[in-house]
Protein backbone atom coordinates (compact mmCIF):
# COMPACT_ATOMS: atom_id res chain seq x y z
CA UNK A 1 0.00 0.00 0.00
CA UNK A 2 1.37 3.49 -0.87
CA UNK A 3 2.60 5.43 2.16
CA UNK A 4 0.00 8.19 1.73
CA UNK A 5 -2.80 5.61 1.78
CA UNK A 6 -1.39 3.96 4.89
CA UNK A 7 -1.14 7.29 6.66
CA UNK A 8 -4.63 8.49 5.73
CA UNK A 9 -6.24 5.15 6.66
CA UNK A 10 -4.54 5.22 10.07
CA UNK A 11 -5.43 8.88 10.66
CA UNK A 12 -9.10 8.23 9.85
CA UNK A 13 -9.16 5.36 12.35
CA UNK A 14 -7.51 7.45 15.08
CA UNK A 15 -9.95 10.35 14.67
CA UNK A 16 -12.90 7.96 14.58
CA UNK A 17 -11.86 6.66 18.01
CA UNK A 18 -12.23 10.19 19.39
CA UNK A 19 -15.61 10.71 17.74
CA UNK A 20 -17.25 7.58 19.09
CA UNK A 21 -19.70 6.85 21.91
CA UNK A 22 -21.19 10.01 23.44
CA UNK A 23 -18.62 12.51 22.14
CA UNK A 24 -19.75 16.16 22.12
CA UNK A 25 -20.59 16.85 18.45
CA UNK A 26 -18.79 20.17 18.03
CA UNK A 27 -15.53 18.93 19.51
CA UNK A 28 -15.82 15.71 17.50
CA UNK A 29 -16.21 17.80 14.35
CA UNK A 30 -13.28 20.02 15.30
CA UNK A 31 -10.98 16.98 15.60
CA UNK A 32 -11.59 16.10 11.97
CA UNK A 33 -11.34 19.75 10.89
CA UNK A 34 -7.93 20.07 12.55
CA UNK A 35 -6.34 17.15 10.71
CA UNK A 36 -8.06 17.26 7.30
CA UNK A 37 -7.07 18.06 4.67
CA UNK A 38 -3.69 17.03 5.96
CA UNK A 39 -1.15 18.78 3.80
CA UNK A 40 1.97 16.85 2.86
CA UNK A 41 2.06 14.57 5.95
CA UNK A 42 5.85 14.97 5.90
CA UNK A 43 6.58 13.66 9.40
CA UNK A 44 4.58 10.43 9.16
CA UNK A 45 6.00 9.84 5.67
CA UNK A 46 9.54 10.09 7.07
CA UNK A 47 8.59 7.75 9.92
CA UNK A 48 7.20 5.09 7.60
CA UNK A 49 10.11 5.50 5.17
CA UNK A 50 12.57 4.75 7.95
CA UNK A 51 10.46 1.81 9.14
CA UNK A 52 10.45 0.41 5.60
CA UNK A 53 14.20 0.91 5.30
CA UNK A 54 14.61 -1.07 8.53
CA UNK A 55 12.38 -3.96 7.42
CA UNK A 56 8.88 -2.85 8.53
CA UNK A 57 8.19 -6.26 10.09
CA UNK A 58 5.24 -4.92 12.15
CA UNK A 59 3.33 -2.52 9.85
CA UNK A 60 0.55 -1.89 12.38
CA UNK A 61 3.09 -0.60 14.89
CA UNK A 62 4.76 1.56 12.25
CA UNK A 63 1.38 2.98 11.21
CA UNK A 64 0.59 3.81 14.84
CA UNK A 65 3.96 5.53 15.25
CA UNK A 66 3.45 7.62 12.12
CA UNK A 67 -0.09 8.54 13.12
CA UNK A 68 0.92 9.55 16.63
CA UNK A 69 3.51 11.98 15.28
CA UNK A 70 1.03 13.56 12.87
CA UNK A 71 -1.59 13.94 15.61
CA UNK A 72 0.95 15.77 17.78
CA UNK A 73 1.93 17.97 14.83
CA UNK A 74 -1.70 18.87 14.09
CA UNK A 75 -2.27 19.63 17.78
CA UNK A 76 0.70 21.99 17.77
CA UNK A 77 -0.72 23.86 14.76
CA UNK A 78 -4.08 24.33 16.48
CA UNK A 79 -2.39 25.75 19.58
CA UNK A 80 0.15 27.82 17.60
CA UNK A 81 -2.63 29.60 15.72
CA UNK A 82 -4.50 30.70 18.85
CA UNK A 83 -4.55 34.38 19.89
CA UNK A 84 -2.21 33.76 22.83
CA UNK A 85 0.50 32.65 20.39
CA UNK A 86 0.53 33.54 16.66
CA UNK A 87 -3.09 34.76 16.43
CA UNK A 88 -3.35 33.35 12.90
CA UNK A 89 -6.70 33.48 11.13
CA UNK A 90 -5.92 30.82 8.50
CA UNK A 91 -4.19 27.45 8.29
CA UNK A 92 -3.85 25.24 5.20
CA UNK A 93 -5.97 27.66 3.21
CA UNK A 94 -9.01 27.68 5.53
CA UNK A 95 -9.99 29.38 8.81
CA UNK A 96 -7.87 28.19 11.73
CA UNK A 97 -9.64 26.05 14.33
CA UNK A 98 -10.20 28.88 16.81
CA UNK A 99 -11.76 30.98 14.04
CA UNK A 100 -14.04 28.14 12.92
CA UNK A 101 -14.97 26.76 16.35
CA UNK A 102 -13.95 29.37 18.95
CA UNK A 103 -11.00 29.51 21.33
CA UNK A 104 -12.38 27.13 23.95
CA UNK A 105 -12.95 24.30 21.47
CA UNK A 106 -9.62 25.00 19.78
CA UNK A 107 -7.82 24.54 23.08
CA UNK A 108 -9.71 21.28 23.74
CA UNK A 109 -9.08 20.10 20.17
CA UNK A 110 -5.33 20.47 20.56
CA UNK A 111 -5.41 18.76 23.95
CA UNK A 112 -7.54 15.91 22.61
CA UNK A 113 -5.20 15.32 19.66
CA UNK A 114 -2.19 15.10 22.00
CA UNK A 115 -3.95 12.51 24.14
CA UNK A 116 -5.11 10.63 21.03
CA UNK A 117 -1.51 10.31 19.86
CA UNK A 118 -0.50 8.38 22.98
CA UNK A 119 -3.71 6.34 22.91
CA UNK A 120 -2.86 5.32 19.34
CA UNK A 121 0.45 3.87 20.52
CA UNK A 122 -1.15 2.21 23.53
CA UNK A 123 -3.63 0.38 21.29
CA UNK A 124 -0.81 -1.54 19.55
CA UNK A 125 1.13 -2.28 22.72
CA UNK A 126 -0.10 -5.88 22.85
CA UNK A 127 1.69 -6.58 19.53
CA UNK A 128 5.09 -5.77 21.03
CA UNK A 129 5.08 -4.09 24.48
CA UNK A 130 8.80 -3.29 24.38
CA UNK A 131 8.53 -1.43 21.09
CA UNK A 132 5.39 0.40 22.20
CA UNK A 133 7.03 1.61 25.41
CA UNK A 134 10.03 2.89 23.46
CA UNK A 135 7.74 4.71 21.02
CA UNK A 136 5.79 6.33 23.86
CA UNK A 137 9.06 7.40 25.51
CA UNK A 138 10.42 8.98 22.32
CA UNK A 139 7.16 10.75 21.55
CA UNK A 140 6.96 12.10 25.09
CA UNK A 141 10.50 13.46 24.88
CA UNK A 142 9.70 15.12 21.56
CA UNK A 143 6.47 16.69 22.79
CA UNK A 144 7.12 17.98 26.31
CA UNK A 145 9.92 19.54 28.35
CA UNK A 146 12.80 20.14 28.29
CA UNK A 147 13.43 19.66 24.57
CA UNK A 148 10.10 18.93 22.87
CA UNK A 149 7.75 21.16 20.94
CA UNK A 150 6.27 22.58 24.17
CA UNK A 151 9.75 23.80 25.04
CA UNK A 152 10.06 25.26 21.55
CA UNK A 153 6.89 27.27 22.05
CA UNK A 154 8.09 28.24 25.52
CA UNK A 155 11.25 29.84 24.15
CA UNK A 156 9.09 32.47 22.44
CA UNK A 157 8.14 33.81 25.88
CA UNK A 158 11.76 34.32 26.96
CA UNK A 159 13.45 37.71 26.81
CA UNK A 160 16.63 36.11 25.47
CA UNK A 161 16.20 33.21 23.04
CA UNK A 162 18.73 30.41 22.65
CA UNK A 163 18.27 30.15 18.87
CA UNK A 164 19.80 26.70 18.57
CA UNK A 165 17.70 25.24 21.40
CA UNK A 166 14.62 27.03 20.07
CA UNK A 167 14.92 25.54 16.59
CA UNK A 168 15.82 22.06 17.88
CA UNK A 169 12.67 22.01 20.00
CA UNK A 170 10.20 24.02 17.94
CA UNK A 171 10.82 22.32 14.59
CA UNK A 172 13.45 19.65 14.98
CA UNK A 173 11.87 17.62 17.78
CA UNK A 174 9.14 15.99 15.70
CA UNK A 175 11.48 15.29 12.79
CA UNK A 176 13.89 13.59 15.17
CA UNK A 177 10.91 11.69 16.58
CA UNK A 178 9.94 10.63 13.05
CA UNK A 179 13.28 8.99 12.26
CA UNK A 180 13.79 7.51 15.71
CA UNK A 181 10.25 6.16 15.96
CA UNK A 182 10.41 4.71 12.46
CA UNK A 183 13.45 2.72 13.46
CA UNK A 184 12.00 1.71 16.85
CA UNK A 185 8.72 0.60 15.23
CA UNK A 186 10.74 -1.85 13.12
CA UNK A 187 12.66 -3.14 16.13
CA UNK A 188 15.88 -1.18 15.52
CA UNK A 189 17.87 0.98 17.91
CA UNK A 190 16.53 4.54 17.47
CA UNK A 191 19.71 6.29 18.61
CA UNK A 192 21.66 6.13 15.31
CA UNK A 193 18.72 7.78 13.56
CA UNK A 194 18.80 10.93 15.68
CA UNK A 195 21.20 12.88 13.45
CA UNK A 196 19.17 12.29 10.29
CA UNK A 197 16.01 13.57 11.97
CA UNK A 198 17.83 16.57 13.41
CA UNK A 199 19.26 17.51 10.02
CA UNK A 200 15.90 17.17 8.27
CA UNK A 201 14.30 19.23 11.02
CA UNK A 202 16.89 21.98 10.67
CA UNK A 203 16.38 21.97 6.91
CA UNK A 204 12.64 22.41 7.33
CA UNK A 205 13.20 25.27 9.77
CA UNK A 206 15.43 27.14 7.32
CA UNK A 207 13.01 26.40 4.47
CA UNK A 208 10.10 27.66 6.59
CA UNK A 209 12.01 30.85 7.34
CA UNK A 210 12.60 31.32 3.62
CA UNK A 211 8.97 30.65 2.71
CA UNK A 212 7.75 33.05 5.42
CA UNK A 213 10.02 35.77 4.06
CA UNK A 214 9.53 35.17 0.31
CA UNK A 215 5.93 34.09 -0.18
CA UNK A 216 2.52 35.60 0.58
CA UNK A 217 -0.55 34.18 2.27
CA UNK A 218 -2.10 32.98 -1.00
CA UNK A 219 0.87 30.65 -1.53
CA UNK A 220 1.43 29.60 2.08
CA UNK A 221 -2.21 29.04 3.06
CA UNK A 222 -1.46 30.86 6.32
CA UNK A 223 -0.34 34.38 7.30
CA UNK A 224 3.04 35.35 5.84
CA UNK A 225 5.96 37.36 7.26
CA UNK A 226 5.21 36.20 10.80
CA UNK A 227 8.90 36.10 11.80
CA UNK A 228 9.28 39.78 10.93
CA UNK A 229 5.96 40.79 12.49
CA UNK A 230 6.63 38.92 15.75
CA UNK A 231 10.33 39.78 15.89
CA UNK A 232 11.44 36.14 15.86
CA UNK A 233 15.02 35.13 15.07
CA UNK A 234 15.25 33.36 11.71
CA UNK A 235 17.71 32.21 9.08
CA UNK A 236 16.83 34.93 6.55
CA UNK A 237 17.42 37.83 8.94
CA UNK A 238 20.65 36.19 10.11
CA UNK A 239 22.09 35.01 6.77
CA UNK A 240 20.14 36.78 4.02
CA UNK A 241 18.19 34.94 1.33
CA UNK A 242 21.20 33.55 -0.55
CA UNK A 243 22.97 32.63 2.68
CA UNK A 244 19.90 30.81 3.99
CA UNK A 245 19.59 28.88 0.74
CA UNK A 246 23.26 27.87 0.94
CA UNK A 247 22.70 26.77 4.53
CA UNK A 248 19.70 24.70 3.42
CA UNK A 249 21.77 23.00 0.71
CA UNK A 250 24.55 22.16 3.18
CA UNK A 251 22.11 20.71 5.73
CA UNK A 252 20.42 18.47 3.15
CA UNK A 253 23.75 17.24 1.85
CA UNK A 254 24.74 16.31 5.39
CA UNK A 255 21.39 14.60 5.93
CA UNK A 256 22.06 12.14 3.12
CA UNK A 257 25.49 11.27 4.48
CA UNK A 258 24.05 10.74 7.99
CA UNK A 259 21.68 7.90 6.98
CA UNK A 260 22.63 4.82 9.02
CA UNK A 261 23.47 1.61 7.21
CA UNK A 262 20.24 -0.31 6.56
CA UNK A 263 18.59 -2.37 3.80
CA UNK A 264 16.72 0.66 2.47
CA UNK A 265 19.58 3.17 2.61
CA UNK A 266 19.39 4.02 -1.12
CA UNK A 267 15.62 4.55 -0.91
CA UNK A 268 16.01 6.94 2.01
CA UNK A 269 18.71 8.90 0.21
CA UNK A 270 16.33 9.35 -2.71
CA UNK A 271 13.59 10.50 -0.34
CA UNK A 272 15.90 13.16 1.12
CA UNK A 273 16.86 14.30 -2.40
CA UNK A 274 13.19 14.67 -3.36
CA UNK A 275 12.54 16.51 -0.13
CA UNK A 276 15.35 18.92 -1.00
CA UNK A 277 13.71 19.66 -4.35
CA UNK A 278 10.40 20.47 -2.67
CA UNK A 279 11.99 22.67 -0.02
CA UNK A 280 14.10 24.85 -2.32
CA UNK A 281 12.43 28.20 -3.18
CA UNK A 282 11.88 28.87 -6.87
CA UNK A 283 14.46 31.11 -8.56
CA UNK A 284 12.10 33.94 -9.69
CA UNK A 285 10.95 34.36 -6.09
CA UNK A 286 14.55 34.54 -4.87
CA UNK A 287 15.47 37.15 -7.51
CA UNK A 288 12.42 39.25 -6.67
CA UNK A 289 13.46 39.36 -3.04
CA UNK A 290 16.92 40.71 -3.79
Closest of 148, 145, 146 to residue 172, by C-alpha: 148
pLDDT number for residue 286: 53
* Three-state DSSP state, 103: helix
135 to each of 83, 102, 147, how far by Cα in Å?
Answer: 32, 33, 16
Encode burial over 170-182: b for 16+ CB neighbours within 10 A, e otherwise: bbbbbbbbbbbbb
Least confident range of 11-25, 169-183, 186-200, 202-216: 202-216
pLDDT number for residue 234: 77
DSSP at 235: H
Cβ-Cβ contacts under 8 Å for 234 (sequence gap 6 or more): 209, 212, 213, 227
pLDDT number for residue 239: 86
Tell me the mean pLDDT in the region 29-46: 95
Average pLDDT, the chain: 91
Sequence-distant contacts of 88-95: CB under 8 A, at least 24 apart? 88/222, 88/223, 88/226, 89/223, 90/217, 90/221, 90/222, 90/223, 91/221, 91/222, 92/37, 92/39, 92/221, 92/222, 93/221
pLDDT number for residue 24: 98
Tell me the mean pLDDT in the region 176-187: 98
pLDDT in tens, 17-29: 999 989 999 999 9
pLDDT number for residue 224: 74
The pTM assigned to this predicted structure is 0.90
How much of the chain exceeds pLDDT 90, in percent? Answer: 68
pLDDT number for residue 231: 67
pLDDT number for residue 288: 54
pLDDT number for residue 287: 53
pLDDT bucket at 136, cuts 50 / 70 / 90: very high
Instruction: Decide: 166 and 155 in contact? Cβ < 8 Å.
Output: yes
pLDDT bucket at 283, cuts 50 / 70 / 90: low
Tell me the mean pLDDT in the region 184-199: 96
pLDDT number for residue 241: 87
Closest of 50, 123, 43 to residue 75, by C-alpha: 43
How much of the chain exceeds pLDDT 70, in percent? Answer: 95
Is the per-residue pLDDT at 129 higher than 60?
yes
**Rounded Cα gap, residues 173 and 146, in angstroms:** 11
pLDDT number for residue 66: 98
Amino acid sequence: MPLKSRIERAMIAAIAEGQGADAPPKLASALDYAVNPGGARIRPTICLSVALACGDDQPDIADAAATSIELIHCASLVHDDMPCFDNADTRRGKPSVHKAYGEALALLTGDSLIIASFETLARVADRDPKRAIELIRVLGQSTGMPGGICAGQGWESEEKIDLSAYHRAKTGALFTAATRMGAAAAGHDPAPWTELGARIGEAFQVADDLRDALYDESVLGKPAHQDEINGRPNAVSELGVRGAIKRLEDILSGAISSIPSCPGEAMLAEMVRKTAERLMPVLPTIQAAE
